[in-house]
Structure 1
Amino acid sequence: MHSGKLILLHTNDIHSHFEEAARAADYINEVRRSVPEDRLLLVDCGDHLDRVRIETEGTGGAVNRQLLTRLGYEAATLGNNEGLTYSPDELDRLYAGSRFSVVCANLKLAAGGRPPEWMKRSLIVRKAGLTVGIFGLTVQFSEFYEQLGWEVSDPFEEAASCVAELRAGCDVVVALSHLGLRQDERLASAVPGIDLILGAHTHHLLEVPLVVSGTTVCAAGKFARHVGVVEIERRADGRGLVISGRAVPTEGRPADPETAGIVAAALQEAKLAMASPVAELSMPLGGDADAESPLGTLLAGALRRATGAEIGLTNAGQLLDGLAAGPVTRERIHAVCPSPINPCLIELSGARLVEAFEESLLPEFIGLQFQGFGFRGKVLGRLCTDGAEVVYDPAAAPRARIRAVLVNGEPLDESRIYKVGTLDMFTFGIGYVGLKQGRVARYFLPEFIRDLLAESLGDEAAVADCLRPRWTASAAAKAL
């Protein structure tokens, strides 16, 4: 690498994949050994942390901050995993006094209308003889952010404002974007004056940068499997910049020992912090993904009660295992239900409910494998319910197996609208088609479904009731 160039390294969507992050750290350290500090810039584009990992969960994200600090990141923006899985108070504790700058132009606290002290709209640094202006943008999930006390504004309007603020005094203007590839392309077209967009959120890997309306667009995929490298220098005639980029794979590299050591220490700290029991079970509770199970029914009941709904619904695949009799710790609940998913209340017709129940009997739905949208399980699994009793004929034709549904003792009315407590994941169009048509009445934040599960485990009546089956196999019942 030519010493006259600015070398900009970028990561995104690491999601607490610490093993891969340790290999990425090895590459970053290699670059640091060959590039002077005043010509090197390291940034992250959000979703560095993910509460699926016990090291992150048990340290409140402190392990992620430590890794960003130790590797010498100078700027990071907020992804939805930072901004939506922690409250503003928790983020205060995480980021206050950090040595790297958190930049995000389209978030501010609803109370006071200003960003917190640890967050900046933009940052200006001087590297390789260039004045570099950096601003951050995060995806505009307004309904969710408002529940947590944030105001999230239009990223394109804020980008235009940042460019106006930075362009006159900066040689290079860089956007750290947690918006997704399609939005990055739109941003490049809609907001002139951005030299470089470093992307995230949709986990896209650009091994060769895109150039859209004169703006270079780069992204390094997901999980630290690549590190993005951008080289920036002035043109020989002094008019404008030469920008090139690539994504360097980290597979096969050794783990950086110091990074691995930080993560190992965090694991021990997290286990200690999460070792206290939250409930004592007198009997085991099964949690199978491919069948109705007591733990799934308990979670469905918790969703119904927490949202004030008539019916509670969850997919059994949210639960990776059952619980043994005896003490249940925070660590065990996290292991069984790791997904950072929030409850939500939807309004859904009886006909759509029946459709969802039918789908949950089909192998293509039970075994559906996916990741994202908060889901950190393996397969979708069967529907578990509370407030509804379902009679089905397993020998009947697919999508014609439901024979009867009672809702709180009354026959289901296919034309009626029901209030259903379920998972925010389903409102994003993931999983059962029958649930996608629901109208969202309310999202519940900052509660995670595992918080509801933990609370219900301490409710003796709820635990006893979850042992009662809600699904009955019967060929004799009349069809709906």
Structure 2
Amino acid sequence: MKRCTVRVGKLFFVLMAIMAFSMPSWGKDGTATIVGFNDMHGKIFSYEATVKVDGEKVKEDVGGIARIASVIREIKSQSPGNVVVAQMGDTVEGPLFFFFHGKAELAGIDAIPVDVGIPGNHEFDLGADVFGQFVRTASFPLICANLETSRDDCELSSTWTITLENGVKVGFFGLLCTELASLTTPGPDIAAGQDLIAVSEKCVEDLRERGCDVIVALTHVGIDSDRKLAESVSGIHAILGGHSHTVMESPEVVEGPDGWKTMIGQAGAMARYVGSMTVTVKEGKLDTEKSSWKLIEMRQSVPKAQDIEIAIKPYGDELKKNLSKKVGTFVSDMDATKLVVRGRESALGDYLADGLRRKAGTDVAFVNGGGIRGDRVFPAGEISYNTIMEIFPWGNTMQTFSFTGAELREVMEISASALKGTGDEYDPAVRAPSGAFLQISGLKVVLDLTKAPALIDNDSKLLRPGARVLSMEIERAGEVFPIEDDKIYTVATYSWTGGGGDKYYPFARKKAVESYVTDSDVLAETIRHTAGIVEKSKDGRIVVKK
């Protein structure tokens, strides 16, 4: 009996030894600092913005890559060799990217320098060729575990590791938003893998096998997906994210499987913030008491790194010249006067709304007349980026929604409320403002201004339903069908309207699917889609009876 016990004991220790050898265990305790920024969107130069000083709103020069560099360098100097610098995608966008294909942004980022980064959806705005060029130009490794491509020049590693001066080995993996194809134009050779959980589990396993003490996910998937990732996957100590432009004053610690804890941080957007995360691990797990997140705003008081200013200045000078270069042609005059875009169907409004609907892939698109600027007739002839920015100076972003037919009717009643009929006593306190009038795509509507308008107070509360919408039809493949009250339709608009601006309460009570694609970028892409030719005539999609 004693001999049997000894054999069992030996077998137990042999099995334990095999398991210990075959299963990677967490290594040493220690601390790593990851400092980074996300969603710069081409804002390498500082710019004026409204900030609060002692409770008062004032204008300040804020942001810019030169300020980001100063802050990051200061953090690195406090713990040499133990700080990793990361960027979490959407570093590029707009005319700067269009003209320089990422070289301007990389001139600043490379000089910081950045250690590791991931792509965002905007890095694919100009297609796979330009993305490949961007990857080759960057002096730091770009990683992404769910990027699927058949092109060698666009292929990225899933993970990246570094051993700090303090001996802590840090492993990173990258994730890209799953809705890539609907947000940009990557082309047929690039796609985003949809199963973020499975991909992350594989990366965690790989990094553990390679002896990483700290595992960090760099993500461009948005805060909601970050939280789901933390809830679903154990082994990730920290997530530094982007895409949703979330300004996190403090970190979120999310509990996942078997009580595993993951810290999440995200640093706003537009080069306004830097996030600094201290990740401390003890016995393989996040030590929440000794881990932290600090959000640093790029205010006017933050000095600019002069070497960065010198590196990016030539691109700023060249950009000013390029903004006046031809990017398209108006075949005929396009009327963008307030009287037209805020009062009736406009040929330019049709073009803008059609472009938005094509980009969003929705049934219907709305562009508020107040969002179309210029207040002049754009003459037939050349279109430059300056023209695009004159039409859409706001930087509002594309959003999509799901509406019932009855809710679409409510929306059009608000649009009709913005119009003043003959003898109509227009009281701005209870009516939609003139800028609320919508240019539309995908719909045909008939409005009667002799009927009662919707009355809405200044808190966007409906006081009385309108009766001005006589008919509404949906256009599909050249045919029109009556709108059905109970049927669901997909809708695209820009974030001013989508956020409930101009008293659009039906949008305010919905949750938008945010694209972070600006109005000017949608217009620029529309012009490229129509081969640079802007030719549009009114087709009777809005009929106004007086």
Question: 2:249 matched to 1:207?
Answer: yes
Matched, 1:12 2:38: yes
Is 1:217 aligned to residue 264 of structure 2?
Answer: yes
Q: Kindly tell me: are residues 50 and 318 of structure 1, through their superposed partners in 2, closer, same or farther at Cα, counting changes over 3 Å? A: farther
How many residue pairs match? The answer is 440
Structure 1, unpaired ranges of 5+: 369-378, 438-446, 475-480
Matched, 1:413 2:482: yes
Counterpart CA distance in 2 for 1:13 and 1:91 is 16
Paired with 2:91 and 2:327, the residues of 1 have a C-alpha distance of 29
- Identity %, equivalent residues: 23
TM-superposed deviation, 1:100? 1.0
Partner Cα distance (1:309, 1:420) in 2: 8
| 1:355-434 matches, cutoff 5 A | 355-362=410-417, 382-385=438-441, 388=444, 390-393=446-449, 396-398=452-454, 399-404=466-471, 413-415=482-484, 423=492, 433=506
Match of 2:277 in 1: 230
Unmatched segments (≥5 aa) in structure 2: 1-29, 47-62, 256-260, 419-429, 455-465, 511-520
Q: Does 1:56 align with 2:56?
A: no
What is residue 148 of structure 1 aligned with on the other side? 187
Of 299, 304, 326 in structure 2, the residue corresponding to residue 255 of structure 1 is 304
How far apart in 2 are the matches of 1:367 and 1:191? 49
What is the CA-CA distance between 1:343 and the residue it aligns to?
12
1:104 match? 144
Which residue in 2 is equivalent to 1:297?
A: 350
The SS at the match of 2:381 is strand
Amino acid at match of 2:135: Y
- How far apart, CA to CA, are the structure 1 residues paired with 2:161 and 2:525? 41
Are the structure 2 counterparts of residues 232 and 325 from structure 1 closer, same or farther at C-alpha, using a change threshold of 3 Å? same
2:335 corresponds to which residue?
Answer: 285
2:178 counterpart letter in structure 1: Q
After superposition, the Cα gap between the structure-2 partners of 1:413 and 1:456, relative to the gap in structure 1 and judged at 3 Å, is: farther
Q: Choose from 189, 200, 204 the match for 1:163.
A: 204
3-state SS of 1:102 partner: coil
Instruction: Name the CA shift for 1:101/1:362 in 2 (closer, same or farther; >3 Å).
Output: farther
State yes or no: 1:81 paired with 2:119: no
Give distance in 2, aligned partners of 1:306 and 1:184.
Answer: 26
- Distance change in 2, residues 1:256/1:380 (3 Å): farther
Do structure 1's residue 268 and structure 2's residue 342 form an aligned pair? no
- The answer to whether the aligner puts 1:452 opposite 2:493 as a matched pair is no
Say if 1:366 and 1:63 are closer, same or farther in 2 by CA, change over 3 A: farther
Q: Does 1:196 align with 2:238?
A: yes
SS of residue matched to 1:94? helix
The offset of 1:352, in angstroms, is: 5.9
The alignment partner of 2:274 has SS state of strand
SS at match of 2:169: strand
Q: Provide the TM-score with structure 1 as the length reference.
A: 0.74
The equivalent of 1:441 in structure 2 is: none
Any idea what SS the aligned residue of 1:265 has?
A: helix
Residue 226 and residue 239 in structure 1: after superposition, are their counterparts in 2 closer, same or farther (change >3 A)? closer
Aligned-residue offset at 1:28: 1.8
Q: 1:140-161, CA deviations, whole angstroms, 9 ceiling, x for partnerless residues? A: 2165279733142311111111
**Cα offset for 1:117?**
4.5
Measure how far apart 1:95 and its partner are: 1.6
Q: CA RMSD in A?
A: 4.6
For the structure 1 residues 328 and 394, does the alpha-carbon distance in structure 2 shift closer, same or farther, using more than 3 Å as the test?
farther
Structure 2 Cα separation of the partners of residues 163 and 216 of structure 1:
15
Question: Which stretch has the larger CA shift, 267-276 or 150-159?
Answer: 267-276
- In 2, Cα distance between equivalents of 1:141 and 1:7: 30
Instruction: Sort the Cα spacing of 1:416 and 1:457 in 2 relative to 1 into closer, same or farther, 3 A.
Output: farther
1:422 is displaced (CA, Å) by: 7.3
Computing the radius of gyration from Cα coordinates, the structure with the larger value is: 2
Residue of structure 2 aligned with 1:137, choices 146, 169, 175? 175
Q: Deviations over 1:52-95 (max 9, x none)?
A: xx323322232222222121111112223334x34222211222
Checking the alignment, whether the CA contact within 8 Å between 2:442 and 2:474 is kept in structure 1 is no
Q: Which residue of 2 aligns with 1:179?
A: 221
Residue 253 of structure 1 and its aligned partner are, at CA, apart by 1.2
Give distance in 1, aligned partners of 2:169 and 2:415.
56
CA contact (8 A) 1:12 1:47 kept: yes
Q: Secondary structure at the match of 2:270?
A: coil
TM-aligned CA distance change 1:381 to 1:220, over 3 Å: farther
Distance 2:111 2:252 in 1: 31
1:120 Cα deviation from its structure 2 partner: 1.5
